[in-house]
Amino acid sequence: MRRIFFAISGASLIWGFIPAFFLGASLCSSLQAQNPLGPGVLTTVSPDIHYDETHTRLAAVELLTSEVDEDSTRSILFDRNHWADNVRFSREIWCLEFRYKPMRTIWVDIPTENGIERKLVLYMVYAVTNAGEKSAMRSVVDRKIEFPEHKSVEIANCTCQFCVQAGNTEGSRTIEVNIPPILRNQPGSFKPEPFEMPIQFAPQFLLASDRILESAKTEVDPKTGDIATEVQRTTAVFYDQIIPVAIDAISKREQAEKPFESTVSVAGKTIQPNETVWGVATWVDIDPRINFFSVFVNGLTNAYKWENLKDGDQYVHQKGDPLGSGRELTRKVLKLNFSRPGDEFNMNERQFRIGIQGELDFEWVYQ
């Protein structure tokens, strides 16, 4: 009985192992197709889109600071209180999915003005994906607003510049309008709408640190024995550099199916919905004293913020200034934090870590 039992169990194990083996092989093949890289962990940053990024409400300073022809006084379009203030500026917003590996290093022989030099290259492999409806959003009209083509409106105590100049601010004024101003900013008239669109990717990778140790001096008070340490730190910024020989070496090391895109070769590339592009950012001559740093990735989204600048109560934009002047614009950028617990000697990739203690591993910032 024992022999029969073991014979049956052995057969079951064999026949159970065969489909499991092929299932595992199929799964590994599928994962390899999705991630054509060598061993390593990819950190994923999902598309970050918010509805309030699809529009801005600010004053149209070009109208507030321009001169208006007297012949246009019959239209409420030039009544500054109704039309030039709190204007809605709408736009389509997109954001790519970003995945990246921890920082790595590789020694490469690089052609320079002084001949071939062997240099340490710091690099970061990444992938960007157009996630379809998760990567784009716009603001659309939620309901149809019907109103007459022309309508007479009576304005009591009108304060437009024409009534002020005529001294008619105490009475009322009747004018014809095409769009009643109350409908222009009526709440609930708009809603977010995800949609698919091709996205042009033009990245820039900037490595920066404001914690580079410049000097440290410790003094002991001979009277009290108190110890005081004075630390001076400096700031440094490094732009990614295009190094073709390094990209080839990195692509082979990471077992990529084809060479990674560089910042130049991928610039302006149109990424279709559900398409992924692999690239690598490279730096050389990095200050070896860096222990904490951030990589700022520009080009992952077209989201931005802007505000009208004022000098006291007056707008900086003046009559006759070009469109867009007198405004401060900041763009949305992905900030990746890294740390390197080590000294300035023998920099190597085993020292690099994702994240900085007490801070987020990554975050979106405006700058």
What tens-digit pLDDT sequence spans the chain (367 residues)?
333 333 333 444 334 434 444 334 443 433 333 455 544 578 999 999 999 999 888 887 877 776 654 444 444 444 555 567 777 788 999 999 999 999 999 999 988 888 898 999 999 999 999 999 999 999 887 655 554 445 555 666 666 666 666 776 666 666 555 544 444 455 567 889 999 999 999 999 999 987 665 555 677 777 777 777 665 667 788 899 999 999 999 999 998 888 999 999 999 889 999 999 999 999 998 888 888 899 999 999 999 998 888 888 778 877 777 877 888 889 999 999 998 876 666 777 778 889 888 889 999 999 9
Per-residue pLDDT at 19: 43
> 297: exposed, middle or buried (C-beta count within 10 Å: 0-12, 13-18, 19+)?
buried
The SS3 of residue 36 is: coil
Per-residue pLDDT at 181: 44
The Cα angle at residue 64 between residues 58 and 65, in degrees rounded to 5: 125
Q: Which two tokens stand for residue 180?
A: 């009643």
How far apart CA 111 and CA 277 sit, in angstroms, is: 28
Beta-bridge partners for 261:
279
Q: Report in angstroms the alpha-carbon separations of 156 from 12, 166, 175, 227.
A: 92, 15, 11, 74
How far apart CA 31 and CA 159 sit, in angstroms, is: 68
CB 308 within 8 A of CB 61: yes
Per-residue pLDDT at 205: 96
Q: What does DSSP assign to residue 261?
A: B
Q: What does DSSP assign to residue 272?
A: P
How far apart CA 92 and CA 86 sit, in angstroms, is: 19
CB 282 within 8 A of CB 243: yes
In the chain, the N- to C-terminal Cα span, in Å, equals 78
Phi, psi dihedral angles at 249 (to 5 degrees): -65, -40
The Cα angle at residue 226 between residues 222 and 230, in degrees rounded to 5: 105
Prediction pTM value: 0.71
Per-residue pLDDT at 10: 42
Q: Which two tokens stand for residue 57?
A: 């409400």
Longest dimension (CA), the chain: 115
Element (H, E) at 9: helix 2-34
Q: Report in angstroms the alpha-carbon separations of 207 from 87, 124, 236, 246.
A: 38, 11, 8, 18
Q: What does DSSP assign to residue 133?
A: G
How far apart CA 216 and CA 211 sit, in angstroms, is: 13
Q: Which residue, chain included where needed, has tokens 């073991």?
A: 6
